[in-house]
Structure 1
Amino acid sequence: MDKILSTLAENLANKEPREQIKSLLLELISLKKQDNSLIGNWHPLGFVHANLGRIDGIGTIRLHIWLQNKRKTQIPSFPIHDHVFTVNSHILSGTVTNRIYHIERDSINPTHKLYSVKYDNNKSLLESLNQKVNCHFISEENFTIGQYYSVRSSVFHTTEVNENHFASTLVLTNNHINGEPKVVGGLFQNDIYIYERSLCEPVELLEMISLLEHKLKINV
């Protein structure tokens, strides 16, 4: 399995064609089903997140799944965020919209405030940085099956999928930097929030994976 995982990571890093990615992923999923090592959690932004493995010198591979008409988004939802690593996403199924924002300090006419994010097991602690900011929308781009897109560390963005649609991405994270990720919150929201990344029940996760496998095979 380690060899497949390493090859898959290299393929993602090199933005290889969909057929190569698909073949390796299907093989990896099959092996993980056999040893019951597929574990998924509901991300606070509503999608299912499964860590497939880490490869030294390359990065970590994650599987993200947005179910059709079923999201478990925690409230309040703060979708605009950055990362302390580069996100390299490959669209496995459906269509994903990536929106980019510019954040600048503004104590006179602020629109939002910044929170830092700390992790404790399956919990995320959002704590206000007492920084008032202005949040400007910059651009958006849609990505569909077989395409790649990247978001560098410290770039604020959102990843969105139509509520009525199914989508999935395979994500390679690398080039980590020091620091904590940040999210953009409402100006008058509380100063502290705790979110829990609840476990996706194994039976439900396997149903999602089976649906993804089907969509990969028929290219939708």
Structure 2
Amino acid sequence: MQTSILNSFAFLHDNLDRLASAVIPLWHPLGFVSCVIDESPEKYVTRVHFWPPGERRVKNPDWPIHTHSYALRSLVLSGAVRDLQYRIETGDQWCIYTVNYYEGGSEIVRTSEKVNAVPEVDEIRHAGAKYEVPRGIFHQTQVPPDQAAVTVVSLSNHGPDTPKVLGTEQAEKYPYDRIQFEPNVFWNAVREAVECHLTNRCR
């Protein structure tokens, strides 16, 4: 099942007050703040991502290149993000880790597979831009630490593969507990980003 990213934005806009009073944002292992605002198991997930200015809380070790078991569609509401997508080739540059989820967190577990990652997409996506990352494609999203950005993301077209992360050959597994982010700061930034998108002030 595929969902429109514009429908995802409409859901955020129409339910903003209710979401702000009920949904708690969490730090994501990749260093930004993530908040699930709508989901249907095995069908779609809608999230809002926020990169707060001056702060990134990445997992240790910091390995940002990863895949999703969903197709990803993103709409940049404010700020700008760097969209990097990679082609995988035979090689020994990276080890592949699989992602396992449990209540309250996740862990990555090393496999025996090694690969090289070659950038195929390297684009700056400014406010107002929509872009996609196909299911199973290794990618990362960058925002400079001194800058802020807000995106709404739709994950749909779910597949059977577990998400993967590229890392170096170190320990066999790494856990990550997801920590709450200050809701008022998050939702104030989201409200401002929604207003910016509607008025085109952020473009």
Gap regions ≥5 residues in structure 2: none
| Residue 117 of structure 1: aligned partner | 99
| Residue 211 of structure 1: aligned partner | 189
Change (3 A) 1:208 1:76: same
As a proportion of its length, which structure holds more strand? Answer: 2
Distance in 2 (alpha carbons) for counterparts of 1:103 and 1:122 = 31
Which residue, out of 133, 144, 149, partners 1:167? 149
Which residue, out of 12, 15, 18, partners 1:25? 12
Moved more, 161-170 or 134-143: 134-143
TM-score, normalised via structure 2 length: 0.88
As a proportion of its length, which structure holds more helix? Answer: 1
Deviation (angstroms), 1:127? 0.7
Deviation (angstroms), 1:24? 4.9
| Residue 74 of structure 2: aligned partner | 89
Letter in 1 for 2:112: N
Number of matched pairs: 197
Matched, 1:199 2:184: no
Distance in 1 (alpha carbons) for counterparts of 2:117 and 2:152 = 28
Structure 1, residues 8-61: CA drift from partner, whole Å, max 9, x if none?
x9652xx47xxx94x65333111223xx31211100111111000125796221
| Residue 47 of structure 1: aligned partner | 32
| Residue 6 of structure 1: aligned partner | none
Structure 1, residues 134-155: CA drift from partner, whole Å, max 9, x if none?
2222220111111111111110
Distance in 2 (alpha carbons) for counterparts of 1:179 and 1:56 = 15
Distance in 2 (alpha carbons) for counterparts of 1:88 and 1:58 = 14
- Kept in 1: contact 2:77–2:151 (CA 8 A): yes
The RMSD of aligned alpha carbons is 2.1
- Kept in 2: contact 1:115–1:185 (CA 8 A): yes
Letter in 2 for 1:150: E
Letter in 1 for 2:185: E
Gap regions ≥5 residues in structure 1: 1-8
Deviation (angstroms), 1:118? 0.5
Change (3 A) 1:182 1:146: same
Change (3 A) 1:141 1:75: same
Structure 1, residues 130-187: CA drift from partner, whole Å, max 9, x if none?
112122222201111111111111100001111111101101110000021100001x
Letter in 1 for 2:157: N
Which residue, out of 62, 74, 89, partners 1:104? 89
| Residue 49 of structure 2: aligned partner | 64
Q: List aligned pairs for 1:136-147, cutoff 5 A.
A: 136-147=118-129
- Kept in 1: contact 2:25–2:186 (CA 8 A): no
Distance in 1 (alpha carbons) for counterparts of 2:164 and 2:41 = 25
| Residue 185 of structure 1: aligned partner | 167
| Residue 63 of structure 2: aligned partner | 78
Q: Which runs of 4+ in 1 moved over 3 A?
A: 55-58
Larger radius of gyration: 1
SS in structure 1 of the partner of residue 100 of structure 2: strand
Distance in 1 (alpha carbons) for counterparts of 2:149 and 2:119 = 24
| Residue 3 of structure 1: aligned partner | none
